[in-house]
């Protein structure tokens, strides 16, 4: 009964005390909210034009020296609003690490995002004349690789892990990038890709690509709305079937149809699901739950931070669930190891500090319990959580 009450009180603590703390958003002189990012204009020698991009930095970027993975979002101006909001929500929840977002504004998406020129035999186009400006993907990819990425990585603290996200023609371009310059990006979020392009030439190319690259090591999410129309659903399934037939051993991939969304309304959900899938290894694996050891746990944490940057962390609930399990097995030292990591990962989650102090007390580590409450007072004051008096009483009780 005591254990049940502890878990219940912890859950209440979790949802009441771990409330989100909004980042102050910069205001213009006339009180307009900013916060989506900063517009940059690159003079591209490759594209022979001025190319605008929007760069959004993660919360806390200016207050630390951490390096961050970068997600490059095609059709960036159209997608920046929902992408910034989704990434902030998921990173606050520990489901993804904080990311630098680079939204690449489209100027002529038919030119830039299509891999070949559309001639008279194309379908889904505008008639026998085709689309004369199409086929610029090779040049656009050169711009991204040789001009944009070096610009971003010279100006900001970036981690080597890169993601490319694209919808429709952007999804087509993402698939083209995978198969023509696979070393540039580590992961791809492919949303409702226009794989009908030029009689499904990307699917035809995939038949050779996956045979020639049986060990390709990438993460890929393929998504489409459940109400998607002609040209997307079945064409994507045929591409997926090529992956299934070849079964690349190191390719982490997932394909799904989401809800009753159509081509345009699906973007927000596909962005959300795609990000969660790409970083699904941040969830605590079943093996660690079954056979826990401090060494294995800390090794996994280090591995994730090496892969995604030092700000990578598990969802707070995953840490708590593992702690409760170890408590039930009377492995209190293991539970303390997890909570020490969790309190560093979530420095404003005061319930984790309280839990850690209680475990220190149970194991006779009174000085550590007192030190944890002292730190908890600092956190409570900083974030106006109102626990200073309670923690002061706990410190007095432990000292006496």
- Look up the CATH number of the domain holding residue 202: 3.40.50.1820
Range of the domain at 333: 301-399
Q: Pick the residue with more confidence: 173 or 18? A: 173
**19 occurs within a structural domain:** no
Within a 13 Å sphere around the CA of 374, how many CA atoms are in the beta-carbon half? 9
Phi-psi label, residue 294: left if phi above 0, alpha if psi -120 to 50, beta otherwise:
alpha
Are 68 and 58 contacting, i.e. CB atoms less than 8 angstroms apart? yes
**120 occurs within a structural domain:** yes
Number of domains in the chain: 2
Same domain, 277 and 306: no
- DSSP category for residue 328: H
- State the chain's mean pLDDT as an integer: 90
**133 occurs within a structural domain:** yes
Compute the distance between CA of residue 155 and CA of residue 56 in angstroms, rounded to an integer: 13
**373 occurs within a structural domain:** yes
Q: Which two tokens stand for residue 260?
A: 């009753």
Cβ-proximal residues to 37 (8 Å cutoff; 6+ apart), any chain: 54, 55, 56, 57, 80, 84, 101, 103
According to DSSP H, which parts of the chain are helical?
2-17, 76-92, 109-113, 137-143, 149-155, 169-180, 197-212, 233-246, 267-278, 286-290, 294-308, 316-328, 332-345, 350-362, 366-383, 388-399
> Within its chain, how far is the Cα of 288 from the centroid?
23
Q: What is the pLDDT of residues 300-333, one digit of tens each?
A: 999 999 999 999 999 999 999 999 999 999 999 9
Secondary structure class of 282 (helix, strand, coil)? helix
Same domain, 247 and 356: no
**1 occurs within a structural domain:** no
Phi-psi label, residue 185: left if phi above 0, alpha if psi -120 to 50, beta otherwise:
beta
Q: What is the pLDDT of residues 197-235, one digit of tens each?
A: 999 999 999 999 999 999 999 999 999 999 887 778 999
Model confidence at 19: pLDDT above 70: no
Residue 123: pLDDT band with limits 50, 70, 90? low
Q: What is the pLDDT of residues 337-386, one digit of tens each?
A: 999 999 999 998 999 999 999 999 999 999 999 999 999 999 999 988 89
Question: Dihedrals φ, ψ of 370, to 5°?
Answer: -65, -45
Handedness of CA 312, 315, 316, 321 (dihedral sign): negative
C-alpha torsion angle, residues 9, 11, 12, 15 (rounded to 10): 160
Same domain, 139 and 265: yes
**260 occurs within a structural domain:** yes
Burial class (CB in 10 A: 0-12, 13-18, 19+), 20: exposed
Please, which residues bridge with residue 118 across strands? 131
**383 occurs within a structural domain:** yes
Cβ-proximal residues to 150 (8 Å cutoff; 6+ apart), any chain: none
């Amino acid at each position: 009964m005591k254990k049940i009450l502890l878990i219940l009180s912890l859950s209440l603590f979790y949802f009441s005390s771990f409330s989100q703390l909004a980042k102050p958003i910069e205001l213009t002189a006339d009180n307009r909210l900013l916060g989506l990012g900063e517009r940059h204009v690159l003079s591209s020698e490759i594209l022979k034009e001025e190319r605008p991009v929007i760069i959004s930095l993660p919360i806390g970027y200016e207050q630390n020296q951490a390096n961050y993975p970068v997600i490059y979002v095609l059709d960036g101006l159209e997608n920046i609003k929902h992408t910034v909001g989704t990434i902030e929500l998921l990173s606050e929840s520990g489901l993804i690490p904080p990311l630098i977002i680079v939204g690449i504004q489209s100027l002529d998406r038919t030119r830039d995002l299509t891999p070949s020129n559309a001639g008279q035999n194309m379908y889904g186009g505008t008639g026998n004349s085709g689309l004369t400006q199409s086929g610029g993907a090779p040049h656009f990819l050169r711009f991204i690789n040789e001009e944009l990425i070096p610009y971003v990585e010279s100006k900001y603290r970036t981690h080597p892990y890169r993601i490319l996200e694209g919808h429709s023609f952007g999804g087509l371009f993402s698939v083209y990038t995978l198969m023509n310059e696979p070393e540039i990006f580590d992961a791809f979020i492919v949303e409702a890709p226009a794989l009908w392009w030029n009689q499904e030439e990307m699917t035809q190319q995939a038949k050779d690509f996956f045979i020639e690259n049986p060990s390709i090591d990438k993460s890929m999410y393929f998504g489409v709305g459940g109400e998607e129309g002609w040209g997307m659903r079945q064409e994507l399934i045929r591409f997926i079937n090529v992956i299934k037939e070849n079964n690349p051993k190191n390719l982490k991939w997932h394909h799904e149809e989401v809800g009753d969304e159509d081509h345009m309304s699906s973007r927000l959900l596909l962005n959300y699901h795609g990000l969660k899938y790409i970083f699904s290894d941040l969830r605590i694996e079943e093996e660690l739950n079954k056979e826990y050891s401090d060494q294995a746990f800390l090794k996994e944490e280090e591995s994730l931070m090496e892969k995604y940057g030092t700000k990578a962390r598990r969802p707070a609930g995953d840490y708590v669930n593992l702690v409760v399990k170890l408590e039930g097995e009377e492995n209190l030292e293991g539970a303390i190891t997890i909570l020490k990591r969790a309190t560093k990962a979530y420095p404003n989650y005061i319930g984790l500090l309280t839990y850690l102090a209680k475990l220190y007390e149970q194991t006779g580590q009174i000085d550590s319990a007192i030190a944890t409450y002292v730190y908890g007072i600092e956190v409570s004051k900083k974030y106006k959580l109102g626990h200073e008096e309670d923690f002061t009483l706990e410190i007095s009780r432990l000292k006496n």
